[in-house]
Amino acid sequence: MATHYDILSLGEVASTQDEARNRPQPVLVVAARQSAGRGRSGRSWWNAPRALAASFRWTPWWPAEAWPRITLVAGLAAHEIFDCSLKWPNDLVMGGRKVGGILTETDGSSVVCGLGVNLWWPDPPEQSCGAFEADPGPEEAVVLASRWVDGLLHRLEAGPDGWGIGEYRATCTTIGRAVTWAPDGAGRATGVDELGRLLVSVDGSLVALASGEVHILSES
């Protein structure tokens, strides 16, 4: 089922998430810069010299209990465009460094899914990077954001159980790594289940994490 949506391209906004939430849906809001962009848990988002900030608001036809999986679907749609790896649940990674992230919020009747990507960053801070070696120019943001939404919607058409969990597992760098989470959890990630939860082995038992902070430990 094709979903037609409006595209709104802006210069600088406080937050594309807030802009999308205040517009008639379905709508894709794309901005060159955010003055108050945020990531998961309300973190601020750093702007690269050339960045993509996009938020898509719509009402998915999936049952509401399956909406938490949309973050993983959106990550996989971004993977197809940027050839990045995925760190559960919402980080986009290249060469072990963060290049972007997904933020999904809902008000119960609609979903706002945000994509933030550092497109070009010649001198990035530690642990961050840009997706392109050369500046792709300001026009590329809308093109990339539209491709991302189209890929997201295409995968959603397959339903909550057919969107590509196997593909997600294959590109998820968290699987197989030692992880910790708040307040005092620790174990080794062994997979992602059909509900999108991270499976962690703890003293011979499996723990399923649905959300929250997960940190990958360095291993020599």
**Residue boundaries of the structural domains of the chain:** 6-170, 174-216
- For the cut 90, the answer to whether the pLDDT of residue 165 exceeds it is yes
Residue 148 has a pLDDT of: 98
- For the cut 50, the answer to whether the pLDDT of residue 65 exceeds it is yes
Domain 174-216 has CATH 2.30.30.100: yes
Architecture of domain 6-170: 2-Layer Sandwich (3.30)
- For the cut 80, the answer to whether the pLDDT of residue 38 exceeds it is no
Residue 183's pLDDT band (boundaries 50, 70, 90)?
confident
Higher-confidence position of 56 and 44: 56
The residues pairing with 187 across neighbouring beta strands, listed in sequence order, are: 179
pLDDT per position as a tens digit, 144-155: 999 999 999 999
Determine which of 31-45, 60-74, 163-177, 196-210 has the lowest per-residue pLDDT on average: 31-45
Mean pLDDT of the chain: 92
Question: Pairing mode, if any, of strands 91-94 and 85-87?
Answer: antiparallel
Residue 220 has a pLDDT of: 41
**What is the spatial distance between Cα 103 and Cα 90, in angstroms, rounded to a whole number?**
7
The residues pairing with 191 across neighbouring beta strands, listed in sequence order, are: 199
